[in-house]
Amino acid sequence: MSKYLRDPLHGEIRVPEEFLPIVDNPRFQRLRRVRQLGVSSLIYPGATHTRFLHSIGTFHISRSIHKPLMSLYALVHDVGHPPFSHVVESAIQKAGRKFDHEKNLFSHARSLLAGTVFSTKDLRRAVEQGEWVHGDLGVDRLDYIPRDSYFTGVKIGYFDWKRLLRLTRVRRGKTIISPKAVDIAEHFFVARFILGSSVYMHKTNLIAEAMVSKAISILLEEHPVREVVNTDDDGLAAMLVGNERAARFWSMVQERKLFKMVGRFDDEGRAREAYELLEGKLGWDSVIEGERGRWHRDVNIWLDTGENLLDSSPLINSLVDADRKKQYYFVAVEPRRKRMAERILRRLKA
């Protein structure tokens, strides 16, 4: 027997019986306690929605494709993600440790799929052919763009995803759309660009994430990666509070006493030089570094006429170019050190 869930974005969502054991699995239920946007609620108080809700929404959209294995992948695609959105993955990489959320998903696959009609082999096949889920117009993005728009209040993310999917197909790893879908794709890219600038790459959000990343790097000195990535937001917060050095960064984030940006650079090498100079003068605990990365990279979308979407849409081309120009690297310091840091950096620039 199917079950129905009420979603503020899509309305009533039907979950067929064969997928219910996955939804009821403790590993999937953990996603109720993992926020989709990490610390973004510091800027947008409504952004407290979870990866559980996003996974259900992604599954709902995927059912329009009528490919059961793609719906399986759509449902579980976030199961391997650590808490605090992508901040933990970034911190692990900076610490020189290895983690891959896809591999983490498969480490739980057998227990996750127990009691279902699906096997680990089915899931692996779905992931290998997963352009429908994680492609440039994949169902993952078709859910999180309007969902993040809804919960942040940045009202830009509404586009006709049903028509877009109807006019889309995937062939040999390429997303191919009809020329009739170009205007919807443009709407999608405009929404993604604005959310990227206003939410994901918001200056305050970047600073808060860099502070959390620094706190997690301290945790990784004492805890194995698997322990950090397989807990939920509450569990990781408890670990941070339990470590005196990490707790300092975490409490500042919780109280919104954030570090202040004192240097912004186009060149990564210059940013690193500034960070090392400030670290030497002020101490490791007083300085953070980060990046406003690119949100749009190569666009793997093609028209069924054979053209790449970038060649047929000046609008999307301009958005990708504008996003590239927004990239920068930064250093920030605790508020009481801001003036001193600015004086130090003035000497560097001179």
**Do residues 266 and 52 touch, judged by C-beta distance below 8 A?**
no
Residue 273, in any domain of the structure: yes
Residue 13, in any domain of the structure: yes
Q: What is the mean pLDDT of residues 310-339?
A: 95
Residue 314, in any domain of the structure: no
184 with 273, same domain? Answer: no
CATH of the domain at 65: 1.10.3210.10
Q: What is the mean pLDDT of residues 144-157?
A: 95
Residue 239, in any domain of the structure: no
Domain final residue pick, 202, 229, 245: 202
41 with 141, same domain? Answer: yes
| pLDDT of 110 strictly over 80 | yes
| Res. 96 pLDDT band, cuts 50 70 90 | confident
Q: What average pLDDT does the structure give for the chain? A: 95
| Res. 347 pLDDT band, cuts 50 70 90 | confident
CATH of the domain at 297: 3.30.70.1370
The count of residues in the chain is 350
Residue 251, in any domain of the structure: no
In the chain, what percentage of residues exceed pLDDT 90? 92
In the chain, what percentage of residues exceed pLDDT 70? 99
The model's pLDDT over 176-235, given as tens digits with 9 standing for 90+, comes to: 999 999 999 999 999 999 999 999 999 999 999 999 999 999 999 999 999 999 999 999
The DSSP result for 205-227, as a single string, is HHHHHHHHHHHHHHHTTTS-HHH
| Res. 130 pLDDT band, cuts 50 70 90 | very high
By three-state DSSP, how is residue 103 classified? helix
CA–CA separation, 87 vs 201, rounded Å? Answer: 13
When divided into structural domains, the chain yields a total of: 2
Nearest to 304 by CA among 132, 207, 191, 176: 176
Domain final residue pick, 185, 202, 219: 202
Q: What is the mean pLDDT of residues 50-72?
A: 97
pLDDT value for 91: 87
Q: pTM of the predicted model, to two decimals?
A: 0.95
Residue 136, in any domain of the structure: yes
Q: How far apart are the first and last CA of the chain?
A: 71
For tokens 């406003």, what's the residue? 292
Q: Which domain holds residue 277?
A: 259-301+323-350
Nearest to 25 by CA among 103, 110, 102: 110
pLDDT value for 174: 93
178 with 35, same domain? Answer: yes
Residue 211, in any domain of the structure: no
The model's pLDDT over 249-299, given as tens digits with 9 standing for 90+, comes to: 999 999 999 999 999 999 999 999 999 999 999 999 999 999 999 877 779
The model's pLDDT over 8-60, given as tens digits with 9 standing for 90+, comes to: 999 999 999 999 999 999 999 999 999 999 999 999 999 999 999 999 999 99
pLDDT value for 250: 97
pLDDT value for 350: 61
Q: For the CA atoms of 85, 87, 92, 98, what is the dihedral angle to 10 degrees?
A: 40
